[in-house]
Amino acid sequence: MSDSGKKFETLSGIPLQASYGPDGVTPDGSYQAKLGEPGSYPFTRGPHASMYRGKLWTMRMFSGFGTPEDTNRRFSFLLAQGQTGLSTAFDMPTLMGLDPDDPRSAGEVGREGVSVASVADMERLFADIPLAEVTTSMTINAPAVALLAFYVVAAERRGIPPEALGGTIQNDMLKEFIAQKEWICGVRPHLRIVRDMLVYCTKRMPRWNTISVSGYHIREAGATAVQELAFTLADGIGYVELGRQAGLDVDEFAPRLSFFWDVHNDFFEEIAKLRAARRMWARIMRERFGAKNPRAWMLRAHAQTAGVSLVAQQPLNNVVRTTIQALAAVLGGTQSLHTNSYDETYALPTEESASLALRTQQIIAEESGIPAVADPLGGSYFVEALTDRMEEAANQILRTIDEMGGIVAAVEAGWPQREIAASAYRTQRQIDSGERAVVGVNRHRAHHTASIPTLKIDGTPERTQLAAIGKLRARRDATAVQAGLEGVRHAALGDGNLMEAVLEAARRDATLGEICQIFRDVFGEYRDPAEV
């Protein structure tokens, strides 16, 4: 059968040869001199010499729904199933900095994540979980300063100091303006809040990753793998510049920036993306920023399988998609992984589907043999050529961003947003026309509708959270709360550290919505120019 006329390329559009050979290898016929070793600069082959022989990736399943008690039970269930790290999903009101009793929260409380609006909620969320022993990830951005403050104060009330807490808060506002669109105020005020968190955490929370630079949401919005790679590293550059402007030593704070990648179905492209990302970041940190600490050169990666790749038609096929994506993440060298559940196009995961998603990782870890060798695909003619091409294409985008004056100027001009929108449109056109295959959707359709169990959330969480915040407002010292909020306002109007001010307000039981309203009052509430 002839393949004449058919295009063979990655999902990012990189053309593929029919086969790959030793072109471009070093004169002795090997890649060793070009690639280096795992655990050595530029870390193409992985951040650690022994990789998963020494320590498996963290199995960090993303969880959150309903009340804090509901999610606490899910955390406990997953830990009992062998999960090794917590990852918290918050509901839409929390993501937007709103309390459950705000009129704009009606109907959304606890629906797409857990509702957390106070230190008391945070205490309920992590009840009986050893905060000094388990690392926690929180996917929160616009109100991240308040949620981190709640977490710190909840730990303080147990006698655990900030220095003992390990984990990550996403806190990636550039990505929000590029892709996810959850914000409170404008770009530069948000970056000021991020800067103050970076300063505080660098000084007080040595085990905490203050920013998780997220390509995941950029990719879910429709970016290609190359765009995800480039825009995410550009955001990382922006945060390093922010830290330096605050007077921080790059060798001190950069080792605690982490990255969050989306892993899709194009198996080899995703492996190449992770390898290229490590190499590019190592060079950026050493050559562009002059970092001398090898830990500052290392890109540490969390990965999640592609939510946007899951489909409602023939949902059990999503188990296969997730497995392929998880394999790519592991072969690409991730340090942490979440695997999506097959039912997520219908509802939040059930215990059964979340357990199967976790078992997918455990089978890879314990039965496949893959962890026995660091970078098992290193030296593959195809993988090395594709890694080079990914790097070249992403560097071209980075040069364009630099010519625009950097990522902040590019975001304010709307350029990444337009590039992603154009990519998303092309992808949907390819699916609609059948040029891009999606099994069960435009190929190999079934004649019946699948029926699977789904998690159902009624109005009980909203009623519970409304009652809880009402009780909090009734029992707290209103004068002390007001003084704490005025401290936040004073810091926002001046040059005080906002993280420290929000911490004090949290200790006095100020709520999420009250703290974020100060930001709205002082900085103004942002509206997307495209929607004005």
Domain positions in the chain:
53-433
* Count of Cβ atoms closer than 10 Å to residue 18 Cβ: 6
Q: At what angle do helices 498-507 and 478-493 cross, to 10 degrees?
A: 170
* Count of Cβ atoms closer than 10 Å to residue 347 Cβ: 18
User: Residues 346-365: what's their mean pLDDT?
Assistant: 95
User: Residues 95-109: what's their mean pLDDT?
Assistant: 97
pLDDT of residue 7: 73
pLDDT of residue 30: 53
Q: At what angle do helices 317-332 and 267-283 cross, to 10 degrees?
A: 30
SS3 221: coil
Distance (Å, rounded) from C-alpha 467 to C-alpha 449? 40
Q: Would you say residue 119 has pLDDT above 80?
A: yes
Q: Are 214 and 163 in contact (CB under 8 A)?
A: no
pLDDT of residue 1: 39
Q: Are 116 and 92 in contact (CB under 8 A)?
A: no
Q: How far apart are the first and last CA of the chain?
A: 54
Q: Are 326 and 274 in contact (CB under 8 A)?
A: no
Distance (Å, rounded) from C-alpha 274 to C-alpha 301? 8
User: Residues 73-99: what's their mean pLDDT?
Assistant: 94
Greatest pairwise CA separation for the chain in angstroms? 80
Whether this prediction's pTM lies above 0.85 is answered by: yes
- Would you call the peptide bond into 42 cis, given omega within 30 degrees of 0 as the criterion? yes
pLDDT of residue 118: 98
Tokens 């795992």 label which residue?
Answer: 38
Q: Are 137 and 60 in contact (CB under 8 A)?
A: yes
pLDDT of residue 85: 85
User: Residues 210-219: what's their mean pLDDT?
Assistant: 97
Tokens 């091409």 label which residue?
Answer: 389
Distance (Å, rounded) from C-alpha 61 to C-alpha 355? 10
Burial class (CB in 10 A: 0-12, 13-18, 19+), 267: middle
More confident residue, 449 or 521: 521
Q: Which two tokens stand for residue 193?
A: 């809040």
pLDDT of residue 54: 86
CA 456 to the chain's CA centroid? 26
pLDDT band of residue 127 (cuts 50, 70, 90) is very high
Sequence letter at residue 420: I
User: Residues 7-32: what's their mean pLDDT?
Assistant: 72
User: Residues 296-320: what's their mean pLDDT?
Assistant: 96
CATH of domain 53-433: 3.20.20.240
pLDDT band of residue 5 (cuts 50, 70, 90) is low
Name the nearest CA neighbour of 506 among 69, 137, 122.
122
Name the nearest CA neighbour of 333 among 370, 368, 280, 363.
370
